[in-house]
Structure 1
Amino acid sequence: MSNCLHISNVRPWGGEPVDVVVENGLVTDVASPADCPTLDGHGRIILPAFSDVHLHLDSSCLGLPFRTFTGEPGRWGRIMNDRENWRSAGRSVADRASFTLAVAVANGATRIRTHAQVDADSKLEKFEGVLAARERYADVCDVQIVAFPQVGILLEPGVVDLLDASLRAGADLIGGIDPCEIDRDPVRHLDAVFGLAEKHQVDVDIHLHEAGELGLFTTALILERVEALGMQGRVTISHARALCSGLPGVGATIDRIAANDVAITHAAGGGGWELPLAQLAAAGVRVGVGMDGQRDYWSPYGNSDMLDRAWQLAFTQGYRSDPEVEHALAVATWGGASVLDRNLLRLREFGAHPGFAVGDPAEFVLLDSVSPTAAVMDRPAERTVIHRGAVISVDTDIAGFEIPGRWSNR
């Protein structure tokens, strides 16, 4: 890849046309050309590349024949549905994860955090499949892998050892899930998670679907660990459903989350899963969004297009004004990037247009649209993707897979 690129006639966040110069993967100028290859932006919008920071590549069945959902009601029913059916998907985890990752990159996501299930049933098979997909596309995107105990840590023997093995084999973070509701022993669950984090010097990303007062209680337990272990800036809470409750304790919890620089990721859900994004931004909490599972044994939703997920986020939040819709887009792009790299400027208010200051990473997507809000509403299919300062492309033509719906003609 070239270490220098001059991108001419582009409109950062739909603003006035400028030239953007990048060298060695970083923005160096937003005004004058340089002596390096030129990409004509043709007046298109340029945005920070999408960041999918809550993804399950190991379970995705995107691109395979559509299957009727067979899960029982409730979270545990979906977990068991996945366990009973994942081997019948028809393609290996590596193949399915590779196709889903390729489509994500083609749609403009160059920064990914994916969970990979580790449990007594699949052992390291799912993790190894995701690892293979990451290695396959290492030149076009950056992928973090979370060793994820979806079936809990304490319910079956050997899970802690399997998580330990996955971290030795290349997992970047250690995960956890609903310490009260699934393992029914939050102290031992968090002991295991933070013990592995300390042993391997990795960050933590915990799924927390627990709602209401229970979720706030578990959040407090996590924050106690962060404070006691000095892990500020190194912990993420995924979903954080308790923050959607409107309970009196939410405000104080958000302030404590901000004080400990704990990040929040979610999947833009509705029906009681709508995070208080304005409150989180005002507090300075790093927030990102992701596709979650896609066409898998949990859900029929998902298409590996983070611009579509920005639309879903705006819709479920009830956003209508341009600053509101642009904030949803900012969460899906720069917000997620700030989750993955806590040194990046965080989104502290609606109307922020980050990503083009000198020194910012040269991760971009170019779209043909009149404004960022119009791009979210129209979701144009044609995109130019830039990773580490170079234009990239990825072949999504993988035998046996087909991009669904309107994406199939790309």
Structure 2
Amino acid sequence: MKRIIIRDVRIETGFKKVAGVVSETLTDLVTIVIEDGVISQLLQADDDQLVGFRYDAKGALLLPGFTEKHCHLDKSRLGTNWQAVKRVSSIVERFEMEIGELNGLPLNVAQRAEKLIQVFQQAGVTSLRSHVDVHPRVNLDYLDQVVACLAAHSQELTAEIVAFPQHGLLRNDSRDLVRQALKQGASLVGGVDPTAVDGDMKKSLDATFGLAAEQGAGIDLHLHERNEMGLATFEYFLDLVEKYQMQNKTAVSHAFALADVTGTQQTELFSRLAEQGVSIITSVPLGNMPPVLTLQNAGVKVHVGCDNIFDNWSPYGSGDILERVGRLGEMTNQVTEYELSRTLGFITEGVTPLNDQGEQVWPKVGDTADFVFVEASCSAEAVARRSKRVATMSAGKLVAGKL
């Protein structure tokens, strides 16, 4: 049994309130004992009698490992020379141009994916979901390279792969390739704008759900479509979730159309999303964005992902998911101690050290030792100030930084 001891770890223990309002987050220093990747003890002080490999956190704040919920490991140009993005007239022109540009880079998919994974781990990511292009122009080449890259990190990173027919499931007849991808490492079916790209929303979604049901996979759909076009897609998507009984197995990324619905229609749609367990994933664009807080208040699970990180779609993006959720807090005016502490949950699968009542719910004995050590006094400060990551630990293994 491998035992790891980490002393002087700062954890959150409760909220201090003044006149009923949270004014401060209370913390304490503890020693954490990890055995076989799981927390076995939480002690108030270091015990010299404990035997095991020792780390000293030196008072760094402990946060749950971060989840990067939307990335493209096959697309980033990290590790290659600077190149800005060329303007295009349509999404179709963009993805047609992308193939030649990516294939012409001096680093292959696996090499570039490796560099992005390192960036993620340094930023505190212990779990990720990556979309990987699957279409007749590249077949399963990108998928095979990403699968191999992730396999090399299987002991230090939890990962999901979305088989992503970016060029259209129907438009480029990628159904057989997606089916093969689900047998060779992917666990979710992707898709993009079933009306604008595939030209037939119902037929496209029918095929998407049919593949998922056939292979026992989940679904994560890119949906940029706005107004009635996008809202019609949501309604039919929800109909199919019910038909195939895929509650809590689907997600819609971007979901811009959710910003175009108001009043009773909004209440009913958001209620359906919550009831069917459809998650919404946003990259927090500076322009249009779904109403994250309204969705959350309606019971919809909302996650944040970085999406484009120096690729053919955008020259921006650092791969720092804490920076991205800080941007969400800033854009939605989350400024109080309490509000900022809740914002952290968008990048931790909803796990926060304190629950809404200020009770400590993490870390606990039995939790997997997926940690981020941060130079901050509390999670509110970490979110607002994009605090420095000292180290990242996955199942008790130090994967980035040092203690």
- TM bucket (normalised to shorter chain) is 0.7 to 0.9
Total equivalences in the alignment: 384
**Root-mean-square deviation (Å):** 2.6
1:148-194 per-position Cα deviation (integer Å, ceiling 9, x unaligned): 0111111124x111111111111111111111121121222112211
Structure 1 unmatched ranges of 5 or more: 339-344, 396-410
Match of 1:58 in 2: 74
C-alpha displacement of 1:355:
3.8
Match 1:198 to one of 179, 201, 213: 213
**Equivalent residue number for residue 395 of structure 2:** 388
The 5-angstrom pairing of residues 5-404 of structure 1 reads 5-13=4-12, 15-17=26-28, 18-31=30-43, 36-157=52-173, 159-248=174-263, 249-273=265-289, 275-335=290-350, 355-393=362-400
- The separation in 1 between residues aligned to 2:136 and 2:168, in whole angstroms, is 10
Aligned partners of 2:372, 2:335: CA distance in 1, in Å?
23
* Residue type at the aligned position of 2:364: A
- Kindly provide the CA deviation profile for residues 256-291 of structure 1, in whole angstroms up to 9, marking residues without a partner as x: 111111112111112121x32322333332221111
Measure the CA separation in 1 of the matches of 2:284 and 2:186: 26
1:69 is aligned with what amino acid?
A: V
**Deviations, residues 215-271 of structure 1 (Å, cap 9, x unaligned):** 221111111111111111111111121222242322221111111111121111121
Partners of 1:266 and 1:84 in 2: how far apart? 28
Is the 1:269–1:316 contact (alpha carbons within 8 Å) kept by the matching residues of 2?
no
Deviation at 1:382, TM superposition (A): 4.4
- Report the CA distance shift for 1:308/1:138 in structure 2 as closer, same or farther (over 3 A): same
What SS does the corresponding residue of 2:241 show, helix, strand or coil? helix
Any stretches of 5+ residues in structure 2 without a counterpart? 13-24
- Asked whether the 8 Å contact 1:11–1:45 carries over to 2, the reply is yes
Q: Is the 8 A contact 1:27 1:362 kept in 2?
A: yes
- CA distance, structure 1, for counterparts of residue 43 and residue 238 of structure 2: 44
Letter of the structure 2 residue corresponding to residue 66 of structure 1: W
Instruction: Give CA deviations for 1:25-44 in whole Å, capped at 9, x if unaligned.
Output: 33344445665444322211
Contact 2:189 2:220 in 1 (8 A): yes
Aligned to 2:20: none
Change (3 A) 1:95 1:258: same
Q: Quick check: 2:219–2:251 contact (8 Å CA) kept in 1?
A: yes
SS in 1 for 2:257: helix
Task: Determine helix, strand or coil for the equivalent of 2:68.
Answer: strand
* AA partner of residue 129 (structure 1): Q
Distance (Å, rounded) in 2 between the aligned partners of 1:347 and 1:207? 32
Q: Which moved more, 1:108-117 or 1:8-17?
A: 8-17
Deviation per residue, 1:363-382 (Å, 9 max, x gap): 11001123333333443444
TM-score by length of 1: 0.86
Partners of 1:108 and 1:385 within 8 A in 2 = yes
SS in 2 for 1:334: coil
